[in-house]
Amino acid sequence: MCRHIAYVGPSMALGELLTRPVHALVRQSWEPRRQQYGTVNADGFGVGWYADGDPVPGRYRRQGPVWADQSFDDLARVVRSTALLAAVRDATEVGADGEAAAAPFAAGRLLFSHNGAVPGWPGSLAPLAATLPPAELLTLAARCDSALVWALVQHRVAQGDEVPQAVADTVCEIAGAAPGARLNLLVTDGTTIVATAWGDTLWYLAEPGRHAIVASEPYDDDPHWQQVPDRTLLVATCTDILLTPLKEPSE
């Protein structure tokens, strides 16, 4: 389910990544090449980006398929940014949350997306949800597994964890509570991309000293795309890519 992409680097139009490449995210909404679960991502979409001088990213999200949105091409053509996170959604279950369930989710400078699913939702994550303060549960953006996953990451960050540690620990904790969960998470603060490969595909394309792109699948056939091994944490900046193996919960 879902396809997503994040970018940090020189300022460029959103469409240079999301619409122009031959297998860009918009095309992946109806014709993904490497999606292992589901075939069409028509249950919502969104993009978040950062404007000069504003620490809080802007977002554009809708509940329907991106190909039906007549404004998206114009937005992608004229809006420029040094960082973005975008996603197209294939919902695990039909729900009433609509746009609210479409990534990217946001908190402060952070943007978040989840490609995957949690088996047994919501019961499988009830014990983890119970560890959150009631106020945090009441402010969940939507009633889907991705929203709770994001709340668990945010809670760790609020307690002082760095984002990579918060993401890694959350993935391992959820995998222990819901074996078989697919937890490809993607987070950016506008300068760093943090991602996990856990149960689905993840790739990166980097030019050290210039840019980094992390995506569910390549948007073209550039041979420099590198696949991230499963059970791996990725941290990317414009200057460096760091891959760290993640341990199975039982280890």
Q: Report the Cα 55 to chain-centroid distance in Å.
A: 19
- Give the residue numbers annotated as catalytic, written as ranges: 2
Q: Are 168 and 95 in contact (CB under 8 A)?
A: no
How far apart, in whole angstroms, are the C-alpha atoms of residue 61 and residue 85?
12
Q: Please state whether 9 falls in left (phi above 0), alpha (psi between -120 and 50) or beta.
A: left
Distance between first and last Cα of the chain: 27
What is the SS3 string spanning 164-188? HHHHHHHHHHHHHHCCCCEEEEEEE
**How many C-beta neighbours within 10 Å does residue 134 have?**
8
